[in-house]
Amino acid sequence: MNTYLEDIKFILKSEYSKTLETATKQEIYQALSKTLMVSLTDQWEVSTKAYAKGKQAFYLSAEFLMGRALGNNLLNLGQTETFSTLLESVNLNLNEIEEIEEDAGLGNGGLGRLAACFLDSAASTRIPLHGYGIRYDYGIFKQLIENGFQKEEADEWLKYGDPWSIRRFDESVIVHFGDGDVRAVPYDTPIIGYEVKNINTLRLWKAEALVPFDFEKFNDQEYDLAVKSKNRAEDISRVLYPNDSEDQGKILRLKQQYFFVSASIQDMVKQFKQTHGDDFEHFSDYVAIQLNDTHPVVAIPELMRILIDEEHLTFKKAWQIANKTFSYTNHTILMEALEKWWEGFYKELLPRIYEIIVKIDKQFVAELKALNYDPNVIQKMRIISDHMIHMAYLAIYGSKAINGVAELHTEILKHQELKDWYALFPNKFQNKTNGITQRRWLALCNPELTAFITELLDNPDWLKDLESLKGLAKFENDDAVLNRLMDIKHTKKLQLVEYIKEVEGIELNPDAIFDIQIKRLHEYKRQLLNAFQILNLYFDIKENPENEIVPRTFIFGAKAAPGYQRAKGIIKFINEIAELVNNDADVNGRIKVVFVTNYRVSYGEKLFPAADLSEQISTAGKEASGTGNMKFMLNATPTIGTLDGANVEIVQEAGMENNFIFGAKSEEIEAMKADYDPVEIYMSHPRLKKIVDTLVDGTFNDEGTGWFKELHHSLLMGASWHQPDNYFILHDFDAYVEAQKAVNEAYKNKKEWAKKCLANLANAGKFSSDRTILEYAKDIWNIVQIDV
C-alpha cells in the first residue's frame, strides 16, 4: 500500500509540482489512475503476447460508451478496499475522487454501451477480444436544458487528458482518401478482466494531418491556410455522429467510417504478418472480425483492397478470405436505419473501394441469376441499386454469420425485414440475445445489493456466474429478506434524491414510486406515450382533486440527436408538462415530472438502482433488444412494457405476473398497419383528444418553433415519409393507462411488490454479457478461452 502512495506522490510532484496537501482532486484522480496504469502494464503485455499465438476476435464499432474507468478498474482488480483505505489514511475519500472523472465521450446509446459491456465480459471470461473505434475529441455533446429546450455544447471529456490511454505514434498508419491522406494514430486503453490476469485492448484512432503546419503560408501571414489541412484532418475524429442533414456532414460521416475501418484492418494485417508471415490462406484461422451494425461494413472491401493491391491475391481468393473472416450484428428493425450511401460519395472519396464493391455486386447478381432468381427480386437485393450502396446487404453477403440481438428481433429479421436474405442464406442467421456486465451494473453501482446477495447466496463468486442468482428464488416468502431488499431500494432512492437535488436543484419525495424512462430519445421508444399518460393522470386529479394515488415521480433522461427536430420537440413537451404539473397546488405532490440533464453512463449508475418501475414501452417490433431493461431488472425493478425486444425474454424468465405488459404485439401491429386510422381513435376518445390537443390549444408553449403543431400533425396526418401515428401511440394509450393503474394498485401491497422485485433480480442471470460473449466465441468466432 505504501508503494502505491509513494507512486501517487511522485506523479503529483513530477507532473504538477504538487503534494497531496496542495493538489486538487482532479490532480489526485490523475495521479491515482496513472499509478494503477503503471501497476498493470507488465500484465497487459503478457496478455498481448499470449493472445498473439492463437485466434483473436476484433470488434469494430463506431461507439464504445465506456463510462468512468477508475471505479470499474479498481473493482475488477480487486483493489477497491485497498485504495479506499489508502486514501482514508491521508484524509481523502475514494468516492469523491471517482466523481471527478469525466465520462469518456465515445458513444451515445445502447450500441456503444453494448460494445463496452462486451469488452468487459470478454476480458473477464478470458476471451481474446479487442475493440477498434475512433477516439473522438468531443463525443456526441453535453446536454443542457434551457427553458425546456435541449441545448448542445461540446463535451470536453479530454480537457484534463486521459490517464487510461497510451498514445502509440510509432504504430500509426496512413489512410487514403480521394481528397488526400490522413494519419491514424492509435491510443490504447487496457480492458481489465474481473479477478483474472487477462487484460484486453481497446484501440481507438485519432486523425491527424501528415503535415500539420504550413510554415510558408504562415510566414506569408495566411494564418488560417497554414493550419487548414490540420483542421480538416482532425475534423474526422472530432465529434461522434456529426449532423449529416447536408452533404458536407454526410461526407464527414463516411470519412469517419472508412478512417477507423482502414486503420484497423491495416493494423490487423500487420499484426498477422508479424506473427504468421504472408500465408493469408490461414488469415481467418487467426482473425475474426465482428461488425457492430453497418457503420464498419466498409471493412469488407477494405480487407479485399489490401489483399488484392498490397498482398497481390486474386479477387476470388480475397473474397473467400473476407467471407470467412467477417460476421455482422444487426441492431435495427427500422428499414430507414439500414444504412445506404449514394455511390457518388464513394466514387469521390473512396474510388478503389467503390470499384471493389461494384465487382462484389456483379458477382452477387451472377450468383442469383444462376439460381434462377426473378429479376425483380434480384434488383431488390442488389448491393448497388438506384445509385445507392446498401451496407446491410454488403454485410450479409460478405459475412459468414449474421445475428440479431434478441429472439423476437432475430425472428422479425428472418421472416419480415430480411426474409429474402434468410431464404438465400438460412445457415448464416443466428440469434445472440444482448447482455450487460454485472460488474458495472450491479457490483459497482449497487454495492449494498451486491453485499446482500453475497450474504444470501453464501457464495463470493456469484458475480462470475450470474445464473447463480436463481438461488435467491427460495427467499420469495421470507419477510426478513423482502424487507431488507426494499430497505436497500430505499437507500438507493435516498442517494438519488440527494444527487438530483445537488445537480438539478429539484427536491424529490423518496417515498414516491420512482417511474424511470432513460434511453435515447426516439419516437419508437415512445417517450411521448409516457408524457400523454402523465397528462391523463394530471387531468384525473384536476377533475377529482381528492383522487387517492400512490405518489409517483416520473423521471426522464434522454438526448435527442442534434438534427432530430421532432425528438427535440418531445423533450420540450415533457418539460412543459413538468412545469405545469410540478407547480399546480391541486396536484399537491402526488405526481412530479423530472427531466434530468445530460443523461450518460455515470448518471445511469445512480438511476438504475433507485428505480421502482422500468419503462420499456417501445412499439412492439421496433426495439431490437434494449439493454436498459436488463439493467433495471438486475437492480430488482419490475418492467412496464410491450412485448418488444428483450422484454419478451425478460418476462419469460421473471414471469408475466411480476411485470406489467400491455399493448399490441408485433404481429398484431403488422396486421393492422394497412387499415390503421388514428383519427378515428382520436375523435371517439374525449380524454385522449384533450391530451393530444394540448400540443396545439395553447396549454403549452413551444416558443413559436412550430414543433408541437408538427408533432400533432405527425400523429393525425402523418408525413411524406410515414403514416399517421407511425408508432401506434394512440392505439396503445388505453392499454398503457390500465397497466399504470395496475402498477398503482400493486405497489400498495408492499410484500407482493417486494416479491416482484425479487423475482426480477433472481431471474436476471440470462442477461449477463458474459453469456452473450461466450456464445459469440463458440458459435461465430470459433475462439477459445486463454487463461493468462
The chain-wide mean pLDDT, for the chain, equals: 96
Q: Report how far residue 745's alpha carbon sits from residue 758's, in angstroms, rounded to the nearest whole number.
A: 18
Is 559 one of the annotated active-site residues of the chain? no
pLDDT at 336 over 80: no
* Residue 169 to residues 98, 174, 232, Cα–Cα distance (Å): 29, 12, 20
Is 519 one of the annotated active-site residues of the chain? yes
Q: What is the mean predicted confidence (pLDDT) over 152-175? A: 96
pLDDT at 697 over 90: yes
Q: Which residue out of 125, 410, 619, 627 is catalytically annotated? A: 627
CA torsion angle 413 134 322 311 (round to 10): 170
Pick from 104-113, 226-235, 528-537, 539-548 the range whose average pLDDT is largest.
528-537
pTM of the model: 0.96
pLDDT in tens, 763-773: 999 999 999 99
Mean pLDDT lowest among 182-191, 220-229, 284-293, 708-717: 220-229
Q: Which residue out of 331, 600, 755, 756 is catalytically annotated? A: 331
Return the CA Rg of the chain. Answer: 27
pLDDT at 220 over 90: no
pLDDT in tens, 38-83: 999 999 999 999 999 999 999 999 999 999 999 999 999 999 999 9
Residue whose C-alpha is closest to residue 175's, from 306, 366, 44, 82: 306
Q: What is the pLDDT of residue 166?
A: 98
At 516, is the pLDDT very low, low, confident or very high (cuts 50, 70, 90)? Answer: very high
At 225, is the pLDDT very low, low, confident or very high (cuts 50, 70, 90)? Answer: confident
Q: Which residue out of 206, 255, 600, 631 is catalytically annotated? A: 631
* Alpha helices for 413-558 (secondary structure H): 419-424, 438, 447-457, 479-504, 527-543
pLDDT at 371 over 80: yes
Q: Which residue out of 68, 238, 414, 525 is catalytically annotated? A: 525
Is 627 one of the annotated active-site residues of the chain? yes
Mean pLDDT lowest among 74-88, 209-223, 574-588, 755-769: 209-223
Q: What is the mean predicted confidence (pLDDT) over 510-535? A: 98
Cβ atoms 200, 119 nearer than 8 A: yes
Give percent of the chain above pLDDT 90: 94
Give percent of the chain above pLDDT 70: 100
Q: Report how far residue 117's alpha carbon sits from residue 111's, in angstroms, rounded to the nearest whole number.
A: 10
At 547, is the pLDDT very low, low, confident or very high (cuts 50, 70, 90)? Answer: confident
Is 217 one of the annotated active-site residues of the chain? no
Q: Take residue 190 and report the three cell numbers written for it.
A: 487496457
Q: Which residue out of 113, 382, 520, 572 is catalytically annotated? A: 520
Sequence-separated contacts (24+) of 670-677 with Cβ below 8 Å: 670/416, 670/621, 672/731, 673/723, 676/723, 676/724, 676/725, 676/728, 676/731, 677/724
* Alpha helices for 178-279 (secondary structure H): 215-219, 223-226, 228-235, 247-276
Q: What is the pLDDT of residue 1?
A: 61
Q: Given its phi and psi angles, is residue 265 left (phi above 0), alpha (psi -120 to 50 degrees) or beta?
A: alpha
Q: Report how far residue 458's alpha carbon sits from residue 455's, in angstroms, rounded to the nearest whole number.
A: 5
pLDDT at 337 over 80: no
Which run of H or of E encompasses 335? none
At 276, is the pLDDT very low, low, confident or very high (cuts 50, 70, 90)? Answer: very high
Q: Which residue out of 113, 409, 492, 519 is catalytically annotated? A: 519
**769-776 and 110-124 helices, crossing angle to 10°:** 80
CATH number, domain 477-675+727-771: 3.40.50.2000
Is 592 one of the annotated active-site residues of the chain? no
Q: What is the pLDDT of residue 213?
A: 84
At 212, is the pLDDT very low, low, confident or very high (cuts 50, 70, 90)? Answer: confident
Which run of H or of E encompasses 628? helix 628-634
pLDDT at 244 over 90: no
Q: What is the mean predicted confidence (pLDDT) over 205-216? A: 91
pLDDT in tens, 703-718: 999 999 999 999 999 9
pLDDT in tens, 83-121: 999 999 999 999 999 999 999 978 888 899 999 999 999
Cβ atoms 8, 20 nearer than 8 A: yes
